[in-house]
Chains A and B, each alone.
Chain A
Amino acid sequence: MPPGTRHIFTQQPELPPSVLKFIVRRLILLVPILFGLSLFMVVFLHLLPGDPCGAILGEHSTAENLARCQHGLGLDKPLYQQYFEYMSGVFHGDFGVSATNKVSVATSFLTRFPATIELAVSAMIIAIGVGIPLGVAAAKRQYSLFDNFATVASLIGISIPIFFLGLLLQYVFGVWLHWLPTAGRYDLGAYSYDGAGTNFLLWESLVIDHDPAKFADVVRHLILPALALGTIPLAVVARITRSAVIEVLSEDYVRTARAKGLTSRRVDSRHVLRNAMLPIVTVIGLQTGLLLGGAVLTEQIFSWGGVGNWLFQAAVDKDFVVIQSGALILATIFVVVNLLVDISYAYLNPRIRYS
């Protein structure tokens, strides 16, 4: 091999320096992304008609009151100055204060984010845990009745809007069958939660409170929103898995693996799935980002006190600071998730060099 084409992973699980360099470079890349995004947000939010004062004071406020409110929030300053002040705050770790309830954005975000994480992670567990086996099973029985059924189901899953699916689930499992609760994160009548803990209710109920009944209640509340949010990624993951596995199944090295006399389980796990994982992981990363968008709708439908629900309200109130900061934080999370995906490529595919 000529010099310069030496590949990074001569030994597997150590993290070689080139990967560290890669991570640092990607994190540095985050700076222009966030700058661009914040500029975009500030400019476009101010292009929209209305401001938080309209929402705070209502339709019939006087011009003086409006002016006083705008002055109090600094909205009468030139836009570049507002942007500069906002960004200097962000660089000092201050994401601002909500115009409507005067709570700091960081505090609101931190109390609400655990709810969103619980929902998003549950949705992703459903999507991956069901989507990958479904895709593999469909691929191995290509064009069978099962495969056709899975294809149709996936297409329905991809095309059904979240709000419709959410309402459908609420109607069928809540209103009609009375199996599952349709709103909130826990039964407000039976339990109270003071918000003092981590707000990861699964963790709090099981590990801190040692209360299995409460844990079961939290899980029951989680099922429908997680299903509503997880259905699209589930369908996408199943489709990608199916096509990736079908492609890999026709590879020469799979035939080699069979000719070596390996059991079909070993062929599937070691040779087929490991090679099919690259596109699947890419899609999982992208879907995780989209999940954050889907969470806005899902949280709204299921009255889930998470980040999505909060941002939705901020948008209704034209609460500029909350919208800007919320978008910046979510964008950072999105970039970090996809960075993790890219790093995982190195483990999945030794041919990749980070340069």
Chain B
Amino acid sequence: MSRIVDVGIDDTPRAGTAPLLKVRDLRVEFSSSSGRVHAVNGVSFELEPHELLGIVGESGCGKSVTSLAILRLLAKPAGRVVGGQVEFDGMDLLGLGDDEMRDLRGRQVAMIFQDPMTSLNPVTTIGEQLIEVVQAHTKLNRQEAEKRALETLELVGLPNAKSRLKNFPHQFSGGMRQRVMIAMALIMGPKLLIADEPTTALDVTIQAQILDLIGRVARETGAAVMLITHDLGVVAGMTQRIQVMYAGQIVETATTEELFAHPRHPYTVGLLRSIPRLDIGASRELIPIEGLPPDLTRLPAGCPYAPRCAWAIDRCLVENPSLTVPGTTEPAEGLPLGTHLAACWNPATDEEARAGMPASGHISAVSLAAQERAAAAAAALGGQS
């Protein structure tokens, strides 16, 4: 099986800062009753200190699993890393001793989870839950730890922080709980903050507040952020760079502006066309991506997106493309961070991306079938393109 990335080892120092996080060819599998699930299939990326990186994809595309694998928090014994390397601040995380890894969690790499309703322990006070982080990593006594907890709660804008320390999670609203989660993640001043769908479970009115908060505290504390979401709209205003994931692979990466202006991978095009936008007006319909992601227990030989792709050509069905500069075969190695890369044999042009479909001319039987399905769906919706 040809795999997406074999970036090789780039040991030549990059101009500027050394990367904080370096993930190379990460592969994660889960054993399940229906077979081995290939959840992450050769993911490689880097993250610089203080950088805000967005990771976008549908549920089940491996974005959360990637972050859990970095922290070595995969559900045992079902999930395991079967290949690749994770380097954080010069340390090989996959080879680190259990106790060193434990100390690194929460202190250097912290995580915010999706659902603040279920991610806090319901039977202990939030003060206790904050203080225990400090006590797990420092020798500070209780008063000092409590002071630290208070400062952090104030940093995340929790009103009446002092009296709130004695409260239990059920005494907070969802947005307030997520602030507590953020405080818990930031209390040790981590270098990397992984936010896994931090706003998905929240009211729309609260989402923007929480995103602003994450952006602000990251700036204030100097933490780099990996913002994982299924919603391109969430990352648009916040991140410097975006990686789009599909079926456990990175299919496109670019700076945020570039990605929105010139999407190259048909999947990214599809994602962009499925975001509601007020600026374009009601005339534009939301266009769903037809079909479902592939069964991760039986990955196709070719590009995993090919069966849903209007751009698919014959080659897509037999050979999985790796990340290259779009339209070339120039490999990704050694290119500066932020270079626009896509894993696609037949990337979309700007006009095609705007139209949401390939210009006729190089439409294969595969993409014809896909187009027919799309047309049928459009007809069913009573629309016209």
Interface residues of A (CB under 8 A from B): 1, 7, 9-12, 250-253, 255-264, 266, 270-271, 274-275, 348-351
Contacts and interface: CB of A to CB of B under 8 A. Distances in A.
Interface stretch (B19-27, B119-127, B316-324): B119-127
Given A251-B118, A266-B136, A351-B122, A259 B168 contact: no
Given A260-B110, A270-B132, 11 more contacts: A251-B118, A253-B118, A253-B120, A255-B73, A256-B111, A259-B71, A259-B105, A259-B106, A274-B124, A349-B123, A350-B170
Contacts of A261: 102-107, 133, 136-137
24 contacts: A7-B170, A9-B168, A12-B166, A252-B118, A255-B113, A256-B113, A256-B184, A257-B121, A258-B105, A259-B73, A259-B106, A261-B133, A261-B136, A263-B102, A263-B136, A266-B136, A270-B124, A270-B132, A271-B121, A275-B122, A275-B123, A349-B123, A351-B122, A351-B170
Interface in B137-187: 137, 166-168, 170-171, 181, 184
A194 B123 CA distance: 50
Contacts of A253: 118-122
A147 to B, nearest CB: 12
A348 B121 CA distance: 12
Main secondary structure on B side of the interface with A: loop
Interface string B195-210: 0000000000000000
Most chain A CB within 10 A, of B113, B121, B124, B184, is at B121
A256 B119 contact: yes
B115 interface: yes
Nearest to A249: B75
Interface of B: 71, 73, 75, 102-107, 110-111, 113, 115, 118-125, 132-133, 136-137, 166-168, 170-171, 181, 184
Contacts of A264: 102
A262 B136 CA distance: 6
Given A10-B166, A266-B132, A260 B184 contact: yes
Contacts of A258: 73, 105
Contacts of B73: 255, 258-259
Nearest to B184: A260
A11 B120 CA distance: 18
Contacts of B104: 261
A102 to B, nearest CB: 54
A7 B171 contact: yes
A355 B171 CA distance: 18
Contacts of B120: 253, 256
A260 B123 contact: no
A252 B119 contact: yes
Contacts of B168: 7, 9, 350-351
B109 to A, nearest CB: 9
Contacts of A348: 123
A297 to B, nearest CB: 38
A251 B121 CA distance: 9
B111 to A, nearest CB: 5
Contacts of B119: 252-253, 255-256
A1 B107 CA distance: 33
Nearest 6 pairs of A and B residues by beta carbon: A261-B106, A261-B105, A260-B106, A252-B118, A253-B121, A252-B119
A271 B132 CA distance: 11
Contacts of B184: 256, 260
Contacts of A255: 73, 113, 119
Given A7-B171, A253-B118, A350-B123, A260 B132 contact: yes
Contacts of A275: 121-123
Nearest to A262: B136
Contacts of B102: 261-264
Most chain A CB within 10 A, of B107, B110, B137, B170, is at B170
B77 to A, nearest CB: 9
A327 to B, nearest CB: 37
Nearest to A278: B123
A256 B132 CA distance: 12
Contacts of B125: 12
A235 B88 CA distance: 47
A259 B111 contact: yes
A10 B264 CA distance: 55
Contact of A260 (B124, B133, B170): B133
A201 to B, nearest CB: 39
B266 to A, nearest CB: 34
A257 B106 CA distance: 9
Contacts of A9: 168
A270 B121 CA distance: 9
Contacts of A11: 166
B158 to A, nearest CB: 15
Contacts of B103: 261
Most chain B CB within 10 A, of A251, A255, A261, is at A261
A105 B72 CA distance: 65
A250 B75 CA distance: 8
Contacts of A349: 122-123
A350 B118 CA distance: 15
A259 B136 CA distance: 12
B308 to A, nearest CB: 31
Contacts of B115: 252
Contacts of B171: 1, 7, 10
B166 A262 contact: no
Nearest to B106: A261
